[in-house]
Amino acid sequence: MATVTLFRLDASIRAEGSASREIADIVEQEWLAAHPGETVERRHIGVEVLPADAWGHAVSAGYVQAEDRTAEQTAALKLATTLTDELVSADAVLLAVPLYNWGVSQHVKVWFDLIMTDPRVRAPEPLLRGKPVVLATVRGGGYAPGMPKHGWDHSTPYLRRMLGDLWGADLTVVERELTLAEVNPAMEPLRPLAAQLHAEALDAALAVGRAFGIVPVGETPRAAG
């Protein structure tokens, strides 16, 4: 019987108490329930941070013959290949990416930017064409219509654009807002709503995880050049 693999990326900078990890854990548990004994490959870029200068080295390496590349350029290209391999070799992908400072955090952007230097992203077929991908994203404040920060979330639209529109993933997003209500005194009036949104997010994670577990074994992934 063919094996199936889940690739999970975590981007929370918190070692404990991560709201995005809570959602992703539920999705992962449901995936494993449908695929007992199968493999979960992990990368935690919030704790084991990718080098910020790697993208620049990977880009510049593309303009230099292999034998003339610096050690930094060679290492950056190897890292980009590894990151892309992790993504394309999995049958399903789970990403837990919180919103930080209203945009795509630097450590998440480095991950995307490095993968974008891999030749496979320029193939006629999208990198993740039809691959099931779940994005778990959380926001400390309120960004929904009618909330004080509506329109300030510049991360989720980017993630949708990259994963779904550019890379062609079959993308499902599980979201939670007001995660800071319990610890921010100024948000005390919003705590009942925050509790409701928390419960709804956990229910959504359970439902999405169960559907996510129905993952057909895909075609042989594209090997690195």
Query: Which domains, from first to last, does the chain contain?
Result: 5-46+88-101+126-212 (3.40.50.360)
Q: State yes or no: 223 annotated in a binding site.
A: no
Report which of residues 222 and 46 the model is more confident about: 46
Report which of residues 224 and 54 the model is more confident about: 54
Residues facing 95 on adjacent strands? 9, 135
219: pLDDT confidence band, cut at 50, 70 and 90?
very low
Q: State yes or no: 19 annotated in a binding site.
A: yes
Residues facing 174 on adjacent strands? 136
To which residue do tokens 């930080």 refer? 100
Compute the C-alpha angle 58/73/129, nearest 5°: 30
To which residue do tokens 């493999």 refer? 39
* Cα–Cα dist 173/137, whole Å: 7
Q: State yes or no: 75 annotated in a binding site.
A: no
HSE toward the beta carbon, residue 203, CA cutoff 13 A: 6
Residue 218 has pLDDT above 90, yes or no: no
* Cα–Cα dist 90/127, whole Å: 12
Summarised one tens digit per residue, pLDDT across range 150-195 is 999 999 999 999 999 999 999 999 999 999 999 999 999 999 999 9
1: pLDDT confidence band, cut at 50, 70 and 90?
low
Phi, psi of 107 (to 5 degrees): -70, -30
Q: Which residues of 47-83 are buried (b: 16+ CB within 10 A; e: fewer)?
A: eeebeeebbebbbebeeeeeeebeebbebbbebbbeb
For residue 88, give both structure tokens: 């394309």
Q: State yes or no: 12 annotated in a binding site.
A: yes
How far from the centroid of its chain's Cα atoms is residue 5's Cα?
16
- Global pTM? 0.92
Q: What does the pLDDT read at residue 225?
A: 34
